[in-house]
Amino acid sequence: MTASQSSLWPAPSVSAPVTAAVTVPGSKSVTNRALLLAALGAGPGRLRRPLRSRDSALMAGGLRALGVGIEEAAGPDGAEEWRVSPGGGLRGDASVDVGNAGTVMRFLPPVAALADGPVRFDGDPRSHERPLHGVIDALRALGARIDDTARGSRGALPLTVYGGGGLRGGPVEVDASSSSQFVSALLLSAPRFDKGVELRHTGDRLPSMPHIRMTVEMLRAAGAEVETPEDGGEPNVWRVAPGALRGRDLTVEPDLSNAQPFLAAALVTGGRVTIRDWPRQTTQPGDALREIFTEMGGSCELVTTAEGTDLVFSGTPGGSAGGSPGGSAAGIVHGIDIDLSEVGELTPGIAAVAALADSPSRLRGVGHLRLHETDRLAALTAEINGLGGEVTETGDGLAIRPRPLHGGVFHTYDDHRMATAGAVLGLAVPDVRVENVETTAKTLPDFPRMWAGLLAGDDAGPAAGSSDAPAAPTRRD
Ligand SMILES: O=C(O)C1=C[C@@H](OP(=O)(O)O)[C@@H](O)[C@H](O)C1
Ligand SMILES: C=C(OP(=O)(O)O)C(=O)O
């Protein structure tokens, strides 16, 4: 779709430092793991404050297609709650829409191998291009039957998993250098494999380690026995023992990667933004923003309140707003040279801030982003340069030389994090129009309203029952 056919959202620029408090909705990665683990549990499970977004609706929809009951309810304190009833065995003869959700396209095929019949998987056109071979090949080696020949090219969607009511499991080798989600996918379902799994990563690098730690931590909390290279196990080997998973009551943490644009707003305008309910201990990669944005010119502290812990992040007033002529409010922002391989999903937001800095940046270790929602390295290069920037793709990342920026259309390529990166640039550069801002619905459906609330100085949380959010899962008919 061209920009003229698609919506253009005028990204607001600001003339004063941004000061606000923000309640960020639940983590995508935690919500989708929690749904899956609850679906594989021996008894009912409950998710409090789940993320309601396209990716979590797709995960819930996929599990419901396999016969899992997921109902929406209000918890005792009025907060949203999803109740998951595993039901009596996973049903086959089902179809699963994965959209463009990496967590759904990677995490559900192992679950489908446990169903009692064929499960067909398909999704957005981009899902056909995203790597899936690690999951397909491993499942075959563990005893599953999979047909991935529908489009003539193998190792990708669309595909059918012929569920056999169970899976042998055992030792398997996987090269997960293109996505950590290959590892997480196989570990999450492994307690239900007859022999569990002994997964050996054979690639020369492994991105997004915090997300693998999240998988391990959530498996253990559900009662699984897991051995990892990080706690005395063999290097590159994860072992999960077969065994029952228990249903849990779990409160989903706010999505710290989705806190990024709000923190960036404080940094680039020299303002102050409070993020409510920041976890003191977490496996989320977004926690690294405290350090990264501090190195780029801000400062932050965790503050204990009656309700929990807030992160208060302050920018430093006095910068040049990307050289923009519009007199926008500006914070002092420094460039950064950093390996982002552990926290790749933060790259678009960091690139946007780096384009407004007072010195060049090098973002390294993120070659695998070429196979994310879009080719993020190409997209960031094209769009920041389209506003007058000087970004160059390197073999494994980006080199960013700040230049005076001007307005223009910022294309988003159906990528939620491109849209939020465009919004951050728009704060400092007048007349940036973000194409298809609605693509933020993948993980943050209420973004435009939250952004308006941020700039109005509100406590900008998600609207209860907000009308543009995808429907939450409801009782299965
Ligand atoms: O497991 C997860 O929840 C995720 C893992 C990462 O994937 P990659 O390792 O493919 O980058 C991350 O980028 C993605 O947003 C979420
Ligand atoms: C890479 C991302 O998502 P996915 O789960 O689709 O891989 C992301 O959210 O930045």
ipTM field: 0.99
Decide if 253 is catalytic.
Answer: no
Q: Does 121 share its domain with 155?
A: yes
Pocket-forming residues, ligand 2, beta carbon under 6 Å: 101-103, 345, 372-373, 417, 443
Q: Is the dihedral of CA 316, 322, 323, 324 positive or negative?
A: negative
Q: Does 225 share its domain with 145?
A: yes
Q: Does 12 share its domain with 72?
A: no
- 477 pLDDT tier (thresholds 50, 70, 90): very low
Pocket-forming residues, ligand 1, beta carbon under 6 Å: 29, 102-103, 179-181, 184, 207-208, 211, 344-345, 368
In the chain, how many domains are there? 2
Ligand nearest to the CA of 284: 1
49 in a labelled binding site? no
Query: If you measure from the C-alpha of residue 270 to the centroid of ligand 1, how many angstroms do you get, rounded to a whole number?
Result: 30
Which residue has the least CA distance to atom 8 on ligand 1?
179
Domain boundary among 203, 237, 271: 237
pLDDT at position 233 is 87
Of these residues, 80, 198, 342, 345, which one is catalytic?
A: 345
pLDDT in tens, 226-255: 999 999 889 999 999 999 999 999 999 999
Query: Is residue 157 in some structural domain?
Result: yes
- pTM of the prediction? 0.95
Which residue has the least CA distance to atom 12 on ligand 1?
345
pLDDT at position 285 is 98
CA–CA dist 397, 240 (Å, integer): 34
Query: Is residue 466 in some structural domain?
Result: no
- 321 pLDDT tier (thresholds 50, 70, 90): low
Q: Does 225 share its domain with 366?
A: no
Residue 272 contacts residue 229 (beta carbons within 8 Å): no
Position with higher pLDDT, 393 vs 466:
393
- Note the Cα 250 to chain centre separation in Å: 19
Q: Does 230 share its domain with 367?
A: no
Mean pLDDT across 30-54: 97
Ligand nearest to the CA of 101: 2
416 in a labelled binding site? no
Q: Does 141 share its domain with 261?
A: no
Q: Does 169 share its domain with 260?
A: no
pLDDT in tens, 135-181: 999 999 999 999 999 887 789 999 999 999 999 999 999 999 999 99
Which residue has the least CA distance to atom 4 on ligand 1?
211
**Which of the listed residues 27, 28, 29, 373 should we mutate to test ligand 1's pocket, taking the one with most ligand atoms within 8 A of CB?**
29
Beta bridge partners of 48: 81, 251
- 3 pLDDT tier (thresholds 50, 70, 90): very low
Indicate whether 13 pLDDT > 70.
Answer: yes
102 in a labelled binding site? yes
**Could you give the 3-state DSSP secondary structure of residue 361?**
strand
pLDDT at position 325 is 43
Question: Residue 396: how many CB atoms within 10 A of its CB?
Answer: 18
Query: If you measure from the C-alpha of residue 30 to the centroid of ligand 2, how many angstroms do you get, rounded to a whole number?
Result: 13
Query: Which atom of ligand 1 is nearest the CA belonging to 207?
Result: 9
Residue 187 contacts residue 215 (beta carbons within 8 Å): yes
Query: If you measure from the C-alpha of residue 227 to the centroid of ligand 2, how many angstroms do you get, rounded to a whole number?
Result: 26
Strand 237-240 vs strand 226-227: parallel, antiparallel, or unpaired? antiparallel
Peptide bond preceding 158: is omega within 30 degrees of 0, i.e. cis?
yes
pLDDT at position 79 is 87
Query: If you measure from the C-alpha of residue 132 to the centroid of ligand 2, how many angstroms do you get, rounded to a whole number?
Result: 14
The whole domain housing 222 covers: 28-237
Q: Which of 401, 399, 439 shows the shortest CA–CA distance to 422?
A: 439
pLDDT at position 151 is 82
- 322 pLDDT tier (thresholds 50, 70, 90): low
Indicate whether 392 pLDDT > 80.
Answer: yes
CATH value at residue 354: 3.65.10.10
Q: Does 22 share its domain with 47?
A: no
pLDDT at position 424 is 98
pLDDT at position 461 is 56
Query: If you measure from the C-alpha of residue 29 to the centroid of ligand 2, how many angstroms do you get, rounded to a whole number?
Result: 9
CA–CA dist 182, 228 (Å, integer): 15
Query: Which atom of ligand 1 is nearest the CA belonging to 208?
Result: 9
pLDDT at position 368 is 98
Beta bridge partners of 251: 48
pLDDT at position 5 is 54
Q: Does 349 share its domain with 384?
A: yes
Share of the chain above pLDDT 70, in %: 93
